[in-house]
Structure 1
Amino acid sequence: MADSIGAEHIGLILHPANITSGDLQECYTAGARLVRMCLSVTDPDPGLRYVSEAREMGFTVCVNFTRASRLDARSLVDLSSRSAESGANAIYLADSNGSMQPGEVSRRVTLVQEVSGLDVGFHAHNNLGLALANSLAAAHAGAAWMDSSILGMGKGSGNLISEQWIAHLERHHTDPGAFDLGALLDLSAHLRDSVPESTPVLPHTDLLLGRFDLSVEHSARVSADRRSQVHVARELGRVAAA
């Protein structure tokens, strides 16, 4: 991939439990130049050590706050300040449960910026149909990095749809020549026609995960008939929030 499109376009998202320092070095040698490290809220130290190592190797390093909807202000402040101290270039807020609302996104982006002084990114999921609205809220609050995918292809109900995002940027914020929307639409059509699984749908289970701020690990328990699904999801949401 690095030989085909250039090392500056190659990035990795990593979990500290699954890698070693040697893996980081091999990835850099192979051509990756961006790494995003997922931090564990309960034990962020291993991830933060890798952040420092990756910066020393020459990577641009982001940290990823998974399930940001479940992080209270104190946790956000602590993780943000420690990420900055470890040498991160940017902090990503990931709406892993697809449950966040635009106002909530804006407040969290603002808080992380103020505490860390770093660029902030946002990773949307579309469980409640708010991926575009939440991404716009993040951008208006100052987020400089934004995840999207062709057709919105991603976990469950999918992510921010690249075609929508680029169309919005062309219409409202950038020189129309900055992007080739036609080429992007060609790629979208090719993916749609060649990979049947590429277009996300919105199963009732994923909608309920977003409604009650539950992770994908709860999917198996949110089953049975529709009324039972809502009851189980509501109870799981109360437990998770406790």
Structure 2
Amino acid sequence: MESKKILISDPTLRDGSHAIKHKFSKDDISNYCKLADKARIPIVEVGHGNGIGASSLQLGESLLSDFDMLSTARKNLKKSKLGVHVIPGFATIDKDILPAVDVGVDVFRIATHCTESDLSERHISFLRKKNLEVWGCLMMAHMVDTETLIDQAKKIENYGADGVIFMDSAGSFIPNQIKERVEGLVSELNIMVGFHGHNNLNLAVANSLEAIQSGATLVDACSAGFGAGAGNTQLEVLIPVLLKQNFDTNIDFNGLLDLAEFVISKFGKSTSSVHIDSMISGYYGVFSGFLVPVRRVALEYKISPIDIFKELGRRNIIAGQEDLIIEVANSIRDKSK
């Protein structure tokens, strides 16, 4: 039986930035990209954890500028495509997208909250006119039902995107929910469907496999699961699982192991794993990128991070609202007096 082709996009050098407070160095990027290229990783995503243009006091300042990160990656990716994450509002066309085009970015992923795909229209349309590969991403997708997700995805298709990726930004989905959403999207769209998983409930690989078995043709996965919260779908685990299910990614398995060893040796103490607070983040549906700031604020205010996550979830707080973590902490501390 012929193997089904699956496209893998690797956001280790973007989502992993959350785990180290956005401090990737030029050497980190250069060395990782060389290994990824050798391993035949199709797409390597690079940048601040919240994408190009997002480095700031509120979201965390990158060690390097977007230009330095992308140009370093571009020099070392000979076969693999270079991708970026773009959130309208953090990134603008003139200030961020055009310089990325000039550097040689191959794949642009325009990401909005799962109910706000309208915000991606201008960015997607602009990139399509330049004949560049562009995907629409729907973040925090657990916050809407399947029908709403499909409606938002149809808008992205109409804007001209090559595909749509729904993102389990909080690591909150379980496999049957993935199956329902992927089957719905595949049946209603004429473009590729992808999935981006987080491991807060220890289901990232299972959810990614379910997405593929249900019709998705692209999934995101990170070396050693290096990403926000409890991390992302673990790349070196996902690939052999897919091989056992007769899916083909064209990735070199030995090269994949070299990538994982590099990440673990370089960032061992920061590599992601499931802890009580990251699990609670997934259970309450809170953005995975909040794990580090919530831990910091909980320590400073001498309160439980679990209480913070519970209240953030109750308020439906989303990425970009990091300043509300302190407000929530103050509220919890005041109530305890």
CA distance in 2, matches of 1:9, 1:150: 17
- Count of aligned positions: 237
2:145 aligned partner, one-letter code: D
Name the structure 1 match of 2:130. Answer: 57
Name the structure 1 match of 2:176. Answer: 103
Name the structure 2 match of 1:19. Answer: 91
Name the structure 2 match of 1:129. Answer: 202
Give how far 1:215 is off: 2.7
Aligned mate of 1:94, from 167, 172, 175: 167
The range that moved more, 2-11 or 86-95, is 2-11
Aligned mate of 1:156, from 197, 218, 229: 229
> Structure 1: which 5+ runs fail to align?
none
Q: TM-score, normalised by structure 2?
A: 0.64
Backbone CA RMSD of aligned residues: 2.6
1:52 aligned partner, one-letter code: S
Taking every aligned residue pair, what percent have the same amino acid on both sides?
28
Give how far 1:148 is off: 0.4
The range that moved more, 86-95 or 109-118, is 109-118
CA distance in 2, matches of 1:59, 1:100: 31
Aligned mate of 2:267, from 177, 180, 195: 195
CA distance in 2, matches of 1:225, 1:27: 41
Q: Which structure shows the bigger proportion of residues in helix conformation? A: 1
Give how far 1:196 is off: 2.9
CA distance in 1, matches of 2:234, 2:159: 32
- Do the aligned partners of 2:198 and 2:288 also contact (CA within 8 Å) in 1? no
- Do the aligned partners of 1:33 and 1:58 also contact (CA within 8 Å) in 2? no
Runs of 4+ in 1 over 4 A off after TM superposition: 216-219, 232-239
Q: TM-score, normalised by structure 1?
A: 0.87
Q: 1:17 aligns to what SS in structure 2?
A: coil
1:37 aligned partner, one-letter code: I
- 1:43/1:193 Cα in 2 relative to 1: closer, same or farther (>3 Å)? closer
- Do the aligned partners of 1:191 and 1:198 also contact (CA within 8 Å) in 2? no
- 1:122/1:141 Cα in 2 relative to 1: closer, same or farther (>3 Å)? same
Give how far 1:17 is off: 0.6
Higher relative contact order (CA 8 A, sep 6+): 2
Deviations 1:143-180 (A, max 9, x none): 0111001000000100011100111223331569x432
